[in-house]
Amino acid sequence: MSAALKYQGTRLLAASSRLSILQKAAKPSLLRGYHATSARLSVAHSGSQTVANAEKYTLNTYARPTLVLSHGKGSYLYDTDGKEYLDFTAGIAVVALGHNHPDITAAVVDQASKLVHCSNLYHNEWAPQLARNIVESTIAAYPQGTQGIYAQAADGRSPARVFFSNSGTEANEGALKFARKYGKHVAELGTLGKGTSEALRGDPNLKCGIVSFTGGFHGRSMGALSVTANPKYQKPFTPLIPGVQTAKYNSTSEIGAFVDERTCGVIVEPIQGEGGIHPAQVDFLRALRRRCDQVGALLIYDEIQCGLGRSGKLWAHQLYPEDCSPDILTMAKPLANGIPIGAILVSDKVAELIKVGEHGTTFGGNPLACRVGCTVLDHIAKPEFLEHVQNAGQVLEQELQQALAPFVGSTVVELRGTGLLRGIQFASDPIQIVDLARDRGLMLVGAGGNTVRLVPPLNTSIADIKRGAAIIADCVKQFAAERKA
């Protein structure tokens, strides 16, 4: 049987499976149109036609190989030719529970049969529930926390609150807005010393500075781009928003010079992802927390990639002492396993300043995304789930250290990371490693500084972790041999 016929058979079986799920989850009246649709199911286009359509009709912002993905299951992806790939990209750290997870599928189907969107003119059942789950699971996972989002609020209020967006960049945009509002509030209070307070009280807009760090990545929209210190991303779109300074990541000595009384917010990744998998040093985050308190600025942690279990803790900052805690925490990628969603978790002192009408969204907090978010968080927040991430990360580290030891100091510079957020830095551009791995049935993604990023689904089996490490080792061996030749 040809690969194409096998693939068509797989598609028809999948359609039958989806119909079965719908029959169980949805009302019979909703299925009348589905029978006709399923009867017409076939491979819509060949891979070459799909690529041709993409080149002709979509904006050219991505460099992609010519394969076309059709479906996935667990930690595996499949293309339209029927080829199988072990996925160590997880949609760039998004599908934490893998592809086609039955609980995610059931939640999507059931909620889609009830209510997908109603706007924020009204309450829906799932946004408040997901907000509660985020707050309570965050506090429960870090009982030692006393600062920032963990600080006790007065009058029995929640110590933290949530705003929902549609993506990570939107979450960071909101965080930057909230920092600007907080900066004006501090300026108007006049609590930063006589000379400074008089100047800021006269013009509260002066306390508007934002500090970000080298190697950071916070998004592509204008504010988020302005705090993403990468000329490749920034240069085509200058001038960017004013008032942003870039300090050196992990340089404690620079903090005092950059974070001053005119700073309203500091944004940083506890573990940099796009920048090449660089964990922050304890002293660095501790110094940032202390300095923000001294000058009345908010400490914002961007955990869009490193958060929600990826590090082996619910949040990457929970790997650090409690005196490193943030005032604002942004999240997105894995929160709904691929359904678009983002969120901003803010401390009580920030929440009390944000008033009705000062921020908003059309799609953020919709019942479909929030229903799926509840399902994802139910899995990720479990101690046994996080323990698996830690164990899988240790196995991946051990397998790679052993297999790549002959190449460290020559082809390989360093292995970095924690949990299932790992990076292999090479001495030269590793794009060939990514290509070789894909040819062998393993999906990888690059990062900054000649680094290959390893971000498999968080529930990837130990056997598949070992299989992926073995393929990587084989690719590095060939890469090193060809460089010597």
Cα dist. 173→208, 348, 448 in Å? 14, 19, 23
Would you say residue 412 has pLDDT above 90? yes
Would you say residue 235 has pLDDT above 50? yes
Q: In this predicted structure, what is the pLDDT of residue 2?
A: 45
pLDDT, tens only, 423-463? 999 999 999 999 999 999 999 999 999 999 999 999 999 99
Which of helix, strand or coil describes residue 344? strand
Q: What is the mean pLDDT of residues 157-182?
A: 97
Q: Locate 395 and state its tokens.
A: 């196995």
Confidence of residue 157 (pLDDT cuts 50, 70, 90): confident
Judged on CB neighbours under 10 Å (0-12, 13-18, 19+), 112 is: middle
d(CA 17, CA 20): 5
Q: What is the mean pLDDT of residues 24-40?
A: 39
pLDDT, tens only, 73-88? 999 999 999 999 999 9
Q: In this predicted structure, what is the pLDDT of residue 44?
A: 52
Q: In this predicted structure, what is the pLDDT of residue 125?
A: 98
Would you say residue 232 has pLDDT above 90? yes
List Cβ neighbours of 438 (8 Å cut-off, separation of 6 or more). Answer: 65, 67, 85, 444
pLDDT, tens only, 342-382? 999 999 999 999 999 999 999 999 999 999 999 999 999 99
d(CA 78, CA 85): 6
Quickly count: other Cβ atoms within 10 Å of residue 185's Cβ: 17
Q: In this predicted structure, what is the pLDDT of residue 3?
A: 44
The DSSP secondary-structure symbol of 249 reads T
User: What backbone phi and psi angles, to 5 degrees, belong to 303?
Assistant: -115, 35
Q: What is the mean pLDDT of residues 109-119?
A: 98
pLDDT above 70: percentage of residues in the chain: 90
End-to-end CA gap in the chain: 41
